[in-house]
Amino acid sequence: MAQTWPRRDEPFLILGVETSCDETAAAVVANGAAVLSSVVSSQIDLHARFGGVVPEIASRAHVELLTPVVAEALVEAAVDDGGADAVAATVGPGLIGSLLVGVSAAKALALVWDVPFIGVNHMEAHLYAALLEQPNVVFPTVVLLVSGGHTLLVEMRDHGHYRPLGGTIDDAAGEAFDKVARFLGLGYPGGPAIEQAAAGGDPEAVPFPRALLDQAWDFSFSGLKTAVINHVRKNPDVTTADVAASFQEAVVDVLVTKAAAAATHVGAASLCLGGGVAANTRLRDRTAEVCEQLGLQAVLPSRAMCTDNAAMVAAAAWWRLLSEGPTPLDAGAQPNLALPLA
């Protein structure tokens, strides 16, 4: 049964906490819509020399960074000693050690302030990043969620009502960017590095494969990664810029083609992007183009909202609280949590 609280017409401040991977973040959002503060402390420098996120280093860094990050978010939002009206944290999917840091801290604050705790699904939070900045999104919408760990196409009929249409059968889109960047010696994280390298290259230089274009809504990026490696080994003179541009074009081509087809198939009025890969300029431009052609509302969150942050956690928490109420304090972190279906 729908809760009669919180009241939508009174300011209700949710402190969001995000520690699922390598960003330590806290934010205060009013009524799931107004971002009063959003602080993100990235651990990229700590992990870069290992070429990827090292889980043990990530959880230790969250322990050190979370208290100052939360304090900064509360001060910036002018939250007084009485605390926020609720505290939310990402409970999964993500790295278990990292998740536990944020979940424990959020529960402790909820107990001290005597306010509700709300456990949030990280992918649902990415989805809400788009809706947070575009409150007038027209439903039904199709959301393409593309992060380091997930590639998902989701139909959303209303707040909290999802139908997953498809996902990757092997590597996630962001993972493909990271792996190809590592192979090309471009560093970590791979997405921004590939995007930068691609700026000086020809996207048609190498006709890399577009997998599963004939198979509805599932994706596969592992073969593309192998194709890049084979091509560079066979053609050592090829420029990194051309390989990066051609690889990026192949990924974007598949993502946009399938997302547009899914939107048409379900009769969507809008198409939303979410997740770290949605910060990619080529993906954003192609999505805007195809939405224009199909007469769809394009919902492209700002780049800062695409990558991991806690404002999206607090926004998703508001809608969860309205529909389901608080999460029991004995609910734990769930590293493999799936997107909730409704």
Length of the chain: 342
Applying CB under 6 A, among 38, 147, 246, 270 the residue interacting with ligand KG4 is 147
- CA 336, CA 150: separation in Å to the nearest integer? 11
Q: Are 129 and 145 in contact (CB under 8 A)?
A: no
How far apart are CB 123 and Zn ion at their closest, in Å?
8
Residue closer to ligand KG4, measured from CB, 195 or 242: 195
- Helices 240-266 + 173-183 axis angle, to 10: 170
For 214, the token pair is 């004939």
How far apart are CB 306 and Zn ion at their closest, in Å?
9
Q: Are 53 and 70 in contact (CB under 8 A)?
A: no
Applying CB under 6 A, among 279, 290, 305, 316 the residue interacting with ligand KG4 is 279
With b for 16 or more beta-carbon neighbours within 10 A and e for fewer, the 193-223 pattern comes to: bbbebbeebebebbebeebbeeeebbbbbee
Residue closer to ligand KG4, measured from CB, 94 or 116: 94
Q: Who's near 92: CB < 8 A, 6+ residues apart?
A: 20, 99, 121, 122, 333, 334, 335, 336, 337
How far apart are CB 189 and ligand KG4 at their closest, in Å?
4
Applying CB under 5 A, among 308, 315, 320, 327 the residue interacting with Zn ion is 308
| Options 5-13, 35-43, 271-279, 328-336: segment touching ligand KG4 (CB under 6 A) | 271-279
Q: What is the per-residue binding string for ligand KG4 in 78-117, x denoting contact by CB under 6 A?
A: ----------------------------------------
What is the DSSP-derived secondary structure letter of residue 202?
A: -
Q: Does residue number 22 form part of the binding site for Zn ion (CB under 5 A)?
A: no
Q: Which does 149 bind (CB under 5 to 8 A by kind): Zn ion, ligand KG4, none?
A: ligand KG4
* DSSP code string of 268-326: -SEEEEESGGGG-HHHHHHHHHHHHHHTPEEE---HHHHSS-SHHHHHHHHHHHHHH-P
Residue closer to ligand KG4, measured from CB, 119 or 189: 189
307 dihedral zone (left: phi>0; alpha: psi -120 to 50; beta) = beta
In the sheet with 13-18, reading across from the earlier edge strand, the strands are 34-42, 23-30, 13-18, 86-92, 117-121
- CA 127, CA 111: separation in Å to the nearest integer? 28
CA 112 to chain centre: 30
139-158 positions binding Zn ion, by CB under 5 A: 147
Q: What is the per-residue binding string for ligand KG4 in 5-44, x denoting contact by CB under 6 A?
A: ----------------x-----------------------
A 10 A CB-CB count for 120 gives 33
Q: Does residue number 168 form part of the binding site for Zn ion (CB under 5 A)?
A: no
- CA 4, CA 242: separation in Å to the nearest integer? 56
Q: Which does 219 bind (CB under 5 to 8 A by kind): Zn ion, ligand KG4, none?
A: none
Q: Which does 93 bind (CB under 5 to 8 A by kind): Zn ion, ligand KG4, none?
A: none
User: Total number of residues binding ligand KG4 (CB under 6 A)?
Assistant: 19
Strands 34-42 and 23-30: antiparallel
Applying CB under 6 A, among 307, 316, 319, 322 the residue interacting with ligand KG4 is 307
Q: Which does 73 bind (CB under 5 to 8 A by kind): Zn ion, ligand KG4, none?
A: none
158-217 positions binding ligand KG4, by CB under 6 A: 174, 177-178, 189-192, 195
Point out which residues bind Zn ion (CB under 5 A): 147, 308
Residues that bind ligand KG4 (CB under 6 A): 21, 147-149, 174, 177-178, 189-192, 195, 275-277, 279-280, 307-308
